[in-house]
A and B are shown apart, each in its own frame.
Chain A
Amino acid sequence: MLLVLLAPLGSTRAEAQNLGAIEISGRAKIGTKIEKITRKRFYLFRGGLEANRAMLDRVKASAGVSRDCFYCRAKASPEYIAWLKAENCESPFCREITADDITKVPEFQAAYQKGLKQFRGKTDIAQKWVTTNLPPELRDGFYRQEKTLLDTLLAGAKPLQSSMTDIVTIKAIFIDIALTAGKTSETFLISNLVPIEIGGKGYVWACELPNGPNAKPTTLQPTFPVVNKSGQKCEVYVRDLPVCAGGSCEAK
């Protein structure tokens, strides 16, 4: 369920401006199933689909790499990938690496042993700082890849804001959105840009939201296939993501 709320806000800073707020709730309906889009970032741009067409064309043309495929190509152990999968993490910084994790995941064990030597046998530091001794690809390689992809897609364009959906209410928030001077209504584009993995496929939604100071809250549910409701228009780009099999990733 993508919930859009645009409400003009006043503030001491913004008395000369119209400030808006948009609330995005990401419960995607894929077919008949509701999928929670948690901890995923959405970007806000001024203008609608056509005004941002060049960027969206790049999004459509880009190939995504799934998390599992990335780590598979990086020769991560099945235990490492399982640790990430257990809480839908994309990196080892996602959650605490416990002593139990260190015994079970070879990469954590190797980094821990390195840390024991480096940190003069201090087991607490070796454990807490275990990520500092992980190989770079496994440590932040996926983040860097996603960042590179994002920079390529943006190609110098600057989103007005970006915001992440949370893991309970599955919502993200944009606030302090200034309308162009003199305008009482404006169209914005919201997109995740970087594919969101759902069931082996990558989904990118791009939704334009016309709104004005008196706009009432509207609800837009990202769906595939797309279902547009009044005043809002979405495009969704879906691509099969490569699957890791036998240590290599083949395109589907």
Chain B
Amino acid sequence: MDRRRRDRDGTGAVFATWLTIIGAGLGVMIIIPLTGR
């Protein structure tokens, strides 16, 4: 079954969004100091 059709209540999308935001934030907070800024 297509994953989008299974995620009818949107919780999968919410989970993915939160993980992406946290991951992106961590990436920015680690990489920028390594550039010396």
**A and B are partners in one complex rather than unrelated chains:** no
User: B residues touching A (Cβ–Cβ < 8 Å)?
Assistant: none
User: A residues touching B (Cβ–Cβ < 8 Å)?
Assistant: none
